[in-house]
Amino acid sequence: MASLGWRRNLGREEIMMRNSGPRVAARRFVSAAALVAAVLLPSEQSHAQSTPTFQQVLDGARKEGELIVWASSPGEQKTYRALFDAFNKRFGLNIKAEFLGINATRGRGRVIAEAAANAVTVDVMGGESADGVILMANAGVIKPYPWVEVFGKEMPGIKAAMYDDVPELKGLSLHYFDAVSGIVWNPTLIKDADVPSRWTDLTDPKWRGKFALNSFIYSPLDQTAYAIGGDAVLELMKKLKENRPHLENGSPAVARAVSAGTSPMGVSSFHASERAAVNKEPLKFKLFADVIPLSPLNLYVIEKAPHVNAGRLFAAWFAAEGVPVAEPFEPLPNTTDPNSKLSKALKAQIDATGAKVAKPVSAKAIEDLVELRKKMQTVLTAQ
């Protein structure tokens, strides 16, 4: 998912980080046309010459002996202990792997600055949205990679993990789960029958001060623009603001606030509710009946990563085979499998309500969304 300000137990999650350094803010966006020119694959001849073999990557990873991963989802040390153990066992490695629980939105600026100084300290970043992938490609810190050619024979599942919903982003990242948003509520504080079903329902004065939203421009409200347009989003945002929502630091934080009873309900994700269920927390979820934000979340390897082979191998394995290892700890639902719980829920909701699914389909649409966010921030900060 992209979107993700997940910070629970951050101090515990950062204990394995060797050098956190300062956070550097970097905000850049280049037109979709420039992106296409920047990330087009090289000629077939040079591509063939530069494509490594699986064995070369494996040998390189073994020689590097280390791996550093930043991600917000999954975001717990116990999940990564299981992942790293399974990864090493799968390939007969003994790689020393480290994990930092940091969301991509906060990590991008630092990585861009480190890349400019040829001092990158991370190999793999996860939980990244399509607009984040574009930003990192424009900054030159990630480039298209022949994932299927290198890993397809050893890990056939890599083909399904290729993120190609947005054609311009092909080869830049690997898709591993979907952040699908809806209403979450605490059943000890509000009856199921009373829970709103639509974005517009949250503008009703009877819910004033009784629901929680992401403090970052009410995200995923911004994503609904993919289905209803920017003007409609801005108008809806103004009405939501008038209803005085409780603001939390990210959608996962909204889910935590609701399960803790700070707010009776809010807007969060399907996977947050599934993780609450694993922990037996009082949280229920339903998809919106009007517009359902769907953000495919990805992982990628930094071009100047200190352990680039280990990073490539881990990213490919995680996207192709590793998700089932993580799911007992932190569910990572996706819509690529039509028989998944999430896919079935989406189909049922669309059939029953005619709800629209809002997700990125082109670089131009993502570019428009980035511009819309600037306007949304102005609305949010206006007195």
**What is the per-residue pLDDT across 4-28, written as a single tens digit (0 to 9) for each?**
333 333 333 333 333 334 333 333 3
The pLDDT, as a whole number, for residue 164 is: 83
Cα–Cα distances in angstroms (integers) from residue 50 to residues 40, 42, 153, in the given order: 15, 10, 18
**What is the per-residue pLDDT across 207-260, written as a single tens digit (0 to 9) for each?**
999 999 999 999 999 999 999 999 999 999 999 999 999 999 888 899 999 999
Cis peptide before 220 (omega within 30 of 0): yes
pLDDT-above-70 percentage for the chain: 87
Residues of the chain with pLDDT under 70: 1-49, 383
In angstroms, rounded to a whole number, what is the distance separating the alpha carbons of residues 329 and 370?
33
Residues 225, 368: contact at Cβ < 8 Å? yes
The pLDDT, as a whole number, for residue 2 is: 36
CATH number among 3.10.310.30, 3.20.190.10, 3.40.190.10, 3.90.1150.10, domain 10-177+296-326: 3.40.190.10
The pLDDT, as a whole number, for residue 7 is: 32
Is the pTM here over 0.85, yes or no? no
Report the b/e string of 269-283 with b at 16+ CB within 10 A: bbbbbbbbeeeebeb
CA-wise closest residue to 216 among 359, 1, 3: 3
Phi, then psi, of 164 in degrees rounded to 5: -130, 20
351 burial (CB, 10 Å; 0-12 / 13-18 / 19+) is exposed
CA-wise closest residue to 264 among 272, 273, 255: 255
The pLDDT, as a whole number, for residue 120 is: 98
CA-wise closest residue to 261 among 282, 245, 286, 240: 282
What's the number of CA atoms in the CB half-sphere (13 Å) around residue 59?
5
Q: Are strands 291-301 and 356-358 parallel, antiparallel or unpaired?
A: parallel
> Would the CA dihedral through 8, 109, 122, 308 be positive or negative?
positive
Is the domain spanning 179-293+337-381 CATH 3.50.30.50? The answer is no
Alpha-helical (H) ranges within 180-318 are 225-228, 230-242, 251-260, 270-278, 308-317
Instruction: Check if 10-177+296-326 and 179-293+337-381 are the same fold.
Output: yes
Domain ranges across the chain: 10-177+296-326, 179-293+337-381
What type of residue sits at position 172?
L
